[in-house]
Amino acid sequence: MKMKIKNWHAIAVWKWIANDDNCGICRMAFDCCCPECKIPGEECPIVWGKCSHCFHMHCILKWVQESTNQQCPMCRQPWDIKK
């Protein structure tokens, strides 16, 4: 007896590859988005610093803008984006 498939639905899963599971500022998972965004993905990317800590882009930008010394919130080294 042969079966014929009439329909099929593809499902995909993505995940940021980071050295941590959560943003050190907002504590939200990197698979989710920051509190500023509604949908995770390209609009809410992860940013790595030269110190190797990573954060949601919007979280670290807000942190640096509000901070007077512009340091990494985890290790207090000067914040520079890793290129």
Q: Which CATH class is domain 24-83?
A: alpha beta
Integer Cα distance of 11 and 25 in angstroms: 31
pLDDT of amino acid 27: 92
What is the model's pLDDT at position 42?
A: 75
pLDDT tier, 25 (very low <50, low <70, confident <90, very high otherwise): very high
The model's confidence at residue 29, banded by pLDDT at 50, 70 and 90, is confident
pTM of the model: 0.74
pLDDT at 36: 87
- Residue-wise pLDDT tens digits, 70-83: 899 999 999 999 87
